[in-house]
Structure 1
Amino acid sequence: MNRRHFCHLAMAGTALSLAPRGLFAASPAALPKFSYMIWAFPKPMTIDQRLETVAKAGYTGAELVTEWMAWSPEERRRVAALAKSLGITIDLMFPGQVPLADLASRDTIREQLAKAIPVARELGCPQLGYASGPRIPGQSPEQQIANITENLKVAAEIMEKEKMELLLEPIDLLENKRAAVNSVTEAFTITRAVGSPSIKVLYDFYHEQRGAGNLIEKLENNFDQIGLIHVADVPGRHRPGTGEMNYNNIYRRLAALGYNRYIAMEFYAQGDPIAELKTAKEEVLKAFQQA
């Protein structure tokens, strides 16, 4: 994925909501790209089957968690070649797990990034991701945010030199009751404090809806801090449109803001996965065209 310069960042404040409808209608150049987090496929599927399914659905991105850690150098080269042949970019992978709220994690962060970055280069992946890890007993929320900020400053130095991005993903407390960063509100505070173009937020609407809601206002007020969007509906983590969330309105606001990075689907298909992925993509494009 090419680095995006976000030419529409000046529109990201709350004043955007006061603008006349249609003023910021998306142009073809502002359309997003589409990816799928492949862990959400049924477990029996091989990596080849997962990538092929993503490609058959008309997507150009696929995302990994830490599957890559189990691959030999030969397997990595094979997967990279397969993805390229299918027109798929591995747009995100995770370097591992680390308690970001613990200042003693600095060496681990350096070690994990040192291992992950060469693999990301080999796979053509421009972004790495971290969840925050658990809260540290005895720490105040303010101290946790301060420590995570300092640890991500360490990561920022590395990522800036590599001209890559590291994304912080909040995980809601229903999914992980120990998560130190469980809302994008905290994540945006942290990335602003880090102050690096290489440190962004992975805004997962599914997690934020389960934990706090108020999705669109947070999107508008912090658009410049967002590196990636993840999508699934509540309840059940199924395809958008099957639950309580108004994704049509969310997509229209993304269009108005000029979002053209990846929208990554991270849902469990209830039927044919290719058909559901196609439907999910079509609904995004329809909303963008109507914005």
Structure 2
Amino acid sequence: MPKFAANLTMMFTEYPFMARFAAARKAGFDGVEYLFPYDFPVQDIAQELATHQLTQVLFNLPAGDWAQGERGIACLPERIDEFRSGVENAIVYAKALGCRRVNCLAGKKPDGLSTELANTTLVNNLTFAANRLAEHGIELVIEAINTRDIPGFLVNNSKQAADLIAQAGRTNLRYQYDIYHMQIMEGDLAKTIERYLPIIGHIQLADNPGRHEPGTGEINYPFLFKHIDALGYDGWIGCEYVPANGTEAGLGWLNN
């Protein structure tokens, strides 16, 4: 069975954020991830990780004004300085939390921005971020997200992510493969994971439809977990799902 990390943005929301670390450990998780740590003092998060002996697996680079609907700024030419400042902030948090991997959200392409310029800006930002993160032994991943949940998101399939990684040409830049998003966008999960395994740095999951826990939708997760194991993937799988009826009540899949 793969290594699973609880996503504390979506799971254990029955508790305040800082109490979710204890809840994740009690439920049997060894690692945690979440969207962003920046609203909380880094020392407080580090203390929770240490107290509950949890590995900080992943978080995202700053991604603009999330509350106002922004979902990343890496493809926006007028936000390059903000992006670079965000990279520096992420480095501070990653080092303090012992986190070896951060994710870049490309963002939504505005109607007035050409796809060519958006891609060029994204590649340049990925190159900058990967170079800075490499100085601290940190890996960068780029995620593809389905355009049903986030219309207009620039990076939305595995080939596109692989092409961006090839263009940036940095050995510490890899692909964050989200099973839920890619089931919607391209399907053929087992073969796609196998094809892109050499560049996959992190995997996330949720079932479809509904984005709930494994076993609530159409994806054959028992088969897929065995397949991922057989491929030799030894990284983490982040549980980025919305529990259907409470987090603890929906964890039966984890013990099967």
Give the alignment's TM-score, normalised by structure 1.
0.78
Alignment correspondent of 2:38? 69
**Is 1:223–2:192 an aligned residue pair?**
no
- Report the residue type matching 1:35 in the other structure: A
2:219 aligned with 1:250, yes or no? no
Quote the residue 1:118 is aligned against: 92
Bigger Rg, which one: 1
1:60 aligns with 2:26: no
Q: Distance in 2 between matches of 1:231 and 1:78?
A: 27
Instruction: Mark the CA change 1:134 to 1:244 in structure 2 (over 3 Å): closer, same or farther.
Output: same
SS at structure 2 position matched to 1:69:
coil
Gapped regions of structure 1 (runs ≥ 5): 1-30, 284-291
Provide the residue aligned with 2:4 in structure 1.
34
Tell me if 1:234 matches 2:203: no
Cα RMSD of the aligned pairs, angstroms, is 2.0
Long gaps (5+) in structure 2 = 64-71
What's the % identity of the aligned pairs? 27
Q: Distance in 2 between matches of 1:109 and 1:224?
A: 27
Q: Residue in 1 aligned with 2:58?
A: 92
Q: 1:206 aligns with which of 162, 174, 180?
A: 180
State how 1:95-110 maps to structure 2 within 5 Å: 95-97=61-63, 98-110=72-84
1:21-44 deviation per Cα after TM superposition (whole angstroms, max 9, x unaligned):
xxxxxxxxxx63220111113645
Q: TM-score, normalised by structure 2?
A: 0.88
Code of the aligned partner of 2:40 = W
Between 1:267-276 and 1:165-174, the stretch displaced more is: 267-276
Instruction: Show CA shifts across 1:168-205 (max 9, x none).
Output: 11111111102011122211111122221211111110
Tell me how far apart the structure 2 counterparts of residues 42 and 252 of structure 1 sit (CA, whole Å): 26
Name the SS of the counterpart of 1:34 in structure 2: strand
Q: Give the AA of the match of 2:171.
A: P
Q: 1:134 aligns with which of 108, 112, 115?
A: 108
CA contact 1:136–1:144 (8 Å) conserved in 2? no
Q: Given the superposition, is the C-alpha separation of residues 248 and 145 from structure 1 closer, same or farther in structure 2, using an over 3 Å criterion?
A: farther
More helix by share: 1
User: In the alignment, what sits opposite 1:24?
Assistant: none
Asked if structure 1 preserves the Cα contact closer than 8 Å seen for 2:130 and 2:173, the reply is yes
Between 1 and 2, higher relative CO (CA 8 Å, sep ≥ 6) is seen in 1
Residue among 243, 253, 256 paired with 1:280: 253
Give the match for residue 27 of structure 1: none
User: 1:137/1:216 Cα in 2 relative to 1: closer, same or farther (>3 Å)?
Assistant: same
CA contact (8 A) 2:49 2:55 kept: yes
CA distance in 1, matches of 2:192, 2:168: 19
Q: Who is 1:81 aligned against?
A: 47
Between Structure 1 and Structure 2, how many residues are aligned?
248
Asked if the contact 1:241/1:247 (under 8 Å) is kept, the reply is yes
SS at match of 2:234: coil
